[in-house]
Amino acid sequence: GVALNANGDPDRFESYGLPVLPDSIAGFPGPLAGVLAGLDWAAKQGADSIVTVAADTPFFPCDLVPRLLLAAEDAPHPLALACTPRSGDEALKSGGGKRINRHPTFGLWPVALADDLRAALEDGLRKVVLWTNRHGAGEALFPAEPFDPFFNVNTPEDLARARELAS
């Protein structure tokens, strides 16, 4: 099944014919609240896990789901985030730690951790990576060349670049 996480008037998405899931935690606490809404919906559908993608990212990889599943094989729960290599300059600025960029809106999430996520959000946690690190999330590494497949469209310039890449 496919559903949209969105707050506000759900009728604006009526033409898609999909369920629209608002955040269940008040105050727009960020992407984890959307994940929680998806986990709660999936639990009612009898699913074990969900995969999330950002709606403003037109070029995400076609093999996202199988690669997330592979990355989660050794994790304690079926939990994994998509990642791309970090450029040399970015890696140096970060102190030489992990040389990856995590894309936390692209992930595999286990329904079994919904209550833990709800408690974390109610306690004020907002950082996706902090929560996923607590649970030993896997990382699915995707190439960032010839362009980052997780490039998202937020500005008119981004839209122009997306049109160029699509052609």
pLDDT range class, residue 165, cuts 50, 70, 90: very high
- Please answer whether residues 69 and 77 qualify as being in contact, where contact means their C-beta atoms are separated by less than 8 angstroms: no
Mean pLDDT of 36-41: 97
pLDDT range class, residue 60, cuts 50, 70, 90: very high
Q: What is the pLDDT of residue 99?
A: 82
Mean pLDDT of 49-73: 96
pLDDT of residue 52 exceeding 70: yes
User: In sequence order, what are the residues at sequence separation of 6 or more whose Cβ sits closer than 8 angstroms to the Cβ of residue 110?
Assistant: 39, 48, 49, 77, 78, 79
Percentage of the chain beyond pLDDT 90 is 78
**In whole angstroms, what is the distance from residue 140 CA to residue 149 CA?**
13
Instruction: Tell me the per-residue pLDDT of 65-117, one tens digit each, with 9 for 90 and over.
Output: 999 999 999 888 889 999 999 875 444 344 445 688 999 999 999 999 999 99
**In whole angstroms, what is the distance from residue 151 CA to residue 147 CA?**
8
**In whole angstroms, what is the distance from residue 61 CA to residue 40 CA?**
26
Instruction: Tell me the per-residue pLDDT of 5-36, one tens digit each, with 9 for 90 and over.
Output: 999 999 999 999 999 999 988 888 889 999 99
Expressed in angstroms, the distance from the first to the final Cα of the chain is 30
- Please answer whether residues 74 and 134 qualify as being in contact, where contact means their C-beta atoms are separated by less than 8 angstroms: no
Region of poorest pLDDT, from 33-42, 89-98, 121-130, 156-165 = 89-98
Q: What is the pLDDT of residue 15?
A: 97
Q: What is the pLDDT of residue 7?
A: 93
Please give the structure tokens belonging to residue 24. Answer: 């269940």
Buried b (16+ CB within 10 A) or exposed e, 26-40: eeebbbbbbbbbbbb
Cα 39 to the chain's mean position, in Å? Answer: 13
Q: What is the pLDDT of residue 97?
A: 53
In the 8-state DSSP scheme, what is residue 11? G
Q: What is the pLDDT of residue 93?
A: 44
pLDDT of residue 1 exceeding 70: yes
